[in-house]
Structure 1
Amino acid sequence: MESIQIKTDMIQLDQLLKLGSILQSGGEIRFLLEEKRIFVNGILCEAKRKKIHVGDVVEIKGVGTYTVTRA
């Protein structure tokens, strides 16, 4: 499990994936959402702008699992 550090208490899912270099652009998240491959804290996520907080775990099936930590 890798960690992605953020400087704030919260970040949007699409911004987090760009910050972590998982996606090159925020628009790419649409495909992962349509394929139902993104889970936040074990729950299927269907919103690209879902608020992600420090301590949350984001799993992308076939890509990896990421813990959000404070920078």
Structure 2
Amino acid sequence: MKKISISDEYIKLDQFLKLADCVNTGGMAKALLQDGAVSVNEEPEERRGRKLYPGDIVEVRDCGIFQVASK
């Protein structure tokens, strides 16, 4: 599991996917979410604007498992 540090209180899921190098654009993030390839804390997630907080676990098919961490 790779830790991804954020400097704010939370980060939106689509921004997190870019930060984790799983996608390059917001459009790619939208497609990935619509395909059901992303889960947050072991629950499928389709909302690009889902707020992630330190401690949340994000699993992305064919990319990896990440934990949101605070700086």
Query: TM-score normalized by structure 2?
Result: 0.91
Give the 5 Å matches for 1:11-22.
Answer: 11-22=11-22
SS of the residue aligned with 2:36? Answer: coil
Deviation of the 1:63 alpha carbon = 1.5
Please name the residue that 1:6 is paired with. Answer: 6
Distance in 1, Cα, partners of 2:26 & 2:55: 22
Q: Please report the RMSD computed on the Cα atoms of aligned residues, expressed in angstroms.
A: 1.0
- The one-letter code matched in structure 2 to 1:18 is K
Percent identity of paired positions between Structure 1 and Structure 2: 34
Instruction: State the TM-score, normalizing by the size of structure 1.
Output: 0.91
Q: Output the CA distance in 2 between the equivalents of 1:15 and 1:7.
A: 13
In structure 1, runs of 5+ residues without a counterpart are: none
User: In the comparison of the two structures, how many residue pairs are matched?
Assistant: 71
Residue in structure 2 matched with residue 65 of structure 1 by the alignment: 65
Distance 1:34 1:25 in 2: 14
